[in-house]
Amino acid sequence: MAANLSCIFPALHLLGVLVLLLCPSCLCDCNTFPSIAHGSYEDVSSIFSFTTVVQYKCDEGYVLVGEEKITCRNSHWSSPVPQCKALCLKPEIKDGTVSLDQDQYVEPENVTVQCDSGYSVVGSPSIICSENRTWYPEVPKCEWMLKPPPDGRS
């Protein structure tokens, strides 16, 4: 029994040195997994690699900007945590156009609405694709400029 133990201890000692040299995730970790707004993460580390790898994924309607996977090295993450940016649908403008014609826009895109001739913008002409996937402020309207006088006589 005693002979067996003396055989095991040097092996454990060697393992300890290896562990310190390689700095595995169990001893030398980045303390927290950074969470992100509008997305989630998963620990995709392999048991056999001595690193912690986290993979990020965005909720539907959001796109990932930055590195999808980050690795813990010497207690620091390999790259900045990615962000999930909102996607906004093209604003519907009757009798007008948008400065940038796309199917989808990524936060914080700023577009300007221009009305067709004879129409004028009611609301803010500049709108921003905001974090909640809506345009801010509200999408303006294009209204015909020549209105009848307010008292109804014409």
Kindly list the residues in this chain that would bind ligand NAG in the complex (CB under 6 A).
110, 112, 126, 128, 130-132, 134, 136
Q: Which is nearer to ligand NAG, 58 or 113 (CB)?
A: 113
Supply the minimum distance, in Å, between the C-beta of residue 93 and ligand NAG.
Answer: 16
Give 114's strand partners. 97
> Residue 79 or residue 110: which is nearer to ligand NAG going by CB?
110
Q: How far is the CB of 108 from ligand NAG (least distance, A)?
A: 8
Task: Identify which of residues 71 and 112 has a Cβ nearer to ligand NAG in the complex.
Answer: 112
Smallest distance, Å, CB 25 to ligand NAG?
38
Cβ contacts of residue 97 below 8 Å, gap of 6+? 113, 114, 116
In terms of DSSP H, where are the helices of the chain?
2-22
Two tokens, residue 27: 């001893």
Residue environment code for 72-100, b if the CB has 16+ CB neighbours within 10 A, otherwise e: beeeebeeebbbbbbbbeebebeebebee
Closest approach, Cβ 117 to ligand NAG, in A, equals 20
